[in-house]
Amino acid sequence: MSKRTDLLISEKIALLKKFRSQPRGTSQRKLCELFGVPKSTVSKLLNEETLLRERWTLEQASLGKRKRDGKDPEVEEALNLWFSAVLTKGIRISGPILKNEAEELAQMLGRSDFEATDGWLSRWKKRHTIKYKRAHGEKGSADTVEAEKWMSIVFPQLLREYKPDDIYNADETGLYYRATPDGSLCYAYQSSVVQRRLWTV
């Protein structure tokens, strides 16, 4: 077998089928010897088997519903590769970001007539089983007791140092100026590890 470790989903499923064809209780070391696969790969595939099979099922179902090609196969495939790569880095992605990236990729590929419309984006997301998931859990992690203590004790002391005419309320404008989205587009089968990265960036 090739030493390439970046296996396609179809190759991973094929290996899992070979593993499961062996007698029950066959050790991982034996599977390594039989199929020429590193022990780390065998262990990872077996640990992620449920997720991989769900992903494979979804992809096959998507292929069955997919139109022959889509608006521009090369642009769509390039966007899918880019999208997959940035998600693994924990970067949150929105629809406008995807449309902008699609048009930039189209220019790089010489498709000057390509336009990433809302309709095109909707179909592209459906073909690749991409959903929007909102971040959750941040509110529960806030220390409301300390916040209230700061507002009732520390804040009034700070205000005494200034004249009323020098005090104004800026609210949270500064915080929102470059705030990340409160959720992200991601694959329906996205692993929990990647999702945790998206919500903690």
Q: Which secondary-structure segment (H or E) carries 85?
A: helix 73-88
What is the C-alpha to C-alpha distance for residues 64 and 123, in angstroms, rounded to an integer? Answer: 14
What is the C-alpha to C-alpha distance for residues 83 and 109, in angstroms, rounded to an integer? Answer: 17
pTM of the model: 0.45
**Adjacent-strand bridge partners of 186:** 131
Query: What are the extents of the domains in the chain?
Result: 9-56, 68-137+182-200, 141-176
Question: Would you state the pLDDT for residue 92?
Answer: 83
- Burial of 47 (C-beta count, 10 Å sphere; 0-12/13-18/19+): exposed
Q: Which secondary-structure segment (H or E) carries 131?
A: strand 130-134
Question: Would you state the pLDDT for residue 104?
Answer: 93
Question: Would you state the pLDDT for residue 116?
Answer: 92
Give the pLDDT means over successive 10-residue stretches in the chain (201 positions).
Answer: 63 88 89 90 89 78 55 85 83 89 91 90 87 62 70 84 79 56 69 48 45
8 A C-beta contact, residue 53 and residue 13: yes
- Burial of 15 (C-beta count, 10 Å sphere; 0-12/13-18/19+): buried
Question: Would you state the pLDDT for residue 68?
Answer: 47
Among candidate residues 9, 123, 136, the one with its CA nearest the CA of residue 66: 123
What is the C-alpha to C-alpha distance for residues 127 and 77, in angstroms, rounded to an integer? Answer: 11
What is the C-alpha to C-alpha distance for residues 130 and 122, in angstroms, rounded to an integer? Answer: 9
Give me the phi and psi of 190, to 5 degrees please.
-55, 135
What is the C-alpha to C-alpha distance for residues 148 and 201, in angstroms, rounded to an integer? Answer: 26
Neighbours of 59 (CB within 10 A): 18
Position 164, amino acid: P
Residues in the chain: 201
Return the CATH number of the domain spanning residue range 68-137+182-200: 1.10.10.60
Question: Would you state the pLDDT for residue 178?
Answer: 58
